Each structure stands twice: as C-alpha cells, then as structure tokens.
Amino acid sequence: MFKNPLSAKGRIRRSEYVISFIFVQLASYALGQMFGSMGLTEGSSYGMAWKHIPTILLSIWLLMQGAKRCHDMGNSGWFQIIPFYFVWMAIAPGDEGDNEFGPSPN
C-alpha cells in the first residue's frame, strides 16, 4: 500500500484512496490545531508563509493518489477536478484486469 506515493503513474483501489483522503483531512485538521495553538494562524507573516508548506505537500500527495484512482477507473487523472468527483472515486469500482494505465492493483 502507498507504493510510489508522489507519482501519478499506476493505479490504486478504492480503499487506498479513501484511506489517503481521510489521512489528509485528519492531518490538515491536526496541523491547523497545532499552528493555532502556536499562535501562527494570524499576524505573523513568517508564520503565515511556512505554515502552508505541509498543507501544500499533503495536497500534492492527495492529487497524485487521486490521479492513480482515476486511472484505476480507466479515466484521465484530470477527471478529479470535476466537482464532487472524489465521491465517485470513493465508491465506484475500478476496471477489472489491465487497462491503458497499467496492471490491476493488488
């Protein structure tokens, strides 16, 4: 699980995508709480700049996972920018067997 997490190549199943999505939501909440308790949510321009780096990295990671999930369903990774498509990615089955994006994930 989580093989090549920063690559958009390949395919992942629903379970890995849902776990990734939940992890990013929880991590973002935890980071918000941590930065809030440190007083970095407003005022300090230094704190405002560097506090976004973990959130940006988590977002990139989730986009890569989303692209792989789209590939599992036989779609381009760009499909994930469709509003609320993440819900469909979480519930729709993937293609059986190999498709143009690679072999079926195990």
pLDDT tens-digit profile of 62-84? 999 999 999 999 999 999 999 99
Phi and psi at 34, nearest 5°, equal -65, -50
- Based on its alpha-carbon atoms, the radius of gyration of the chain, rounded to whole angstroms, reads 16
Per-residue pLDDT tens for 52-67?
788 889 999 999 999 9
The DSSP letter of residue 101 is: T
Name the strand (E) or helix (H) holding 57.
Answer: helix 52-72
Average of per-residue pLDDT across 86-96: 94
Per-residue pLDDT tens for 1-46?
567 878 899 999 999 999 999 999 999 888 888 877 766 555 555 5
pTM of structure: 0.83
* 75-106 per-residue burial string, b: 16 or more CB within 10 A, e: under 16: bebebbeeeebeeebeeeebeeeebebeeebe
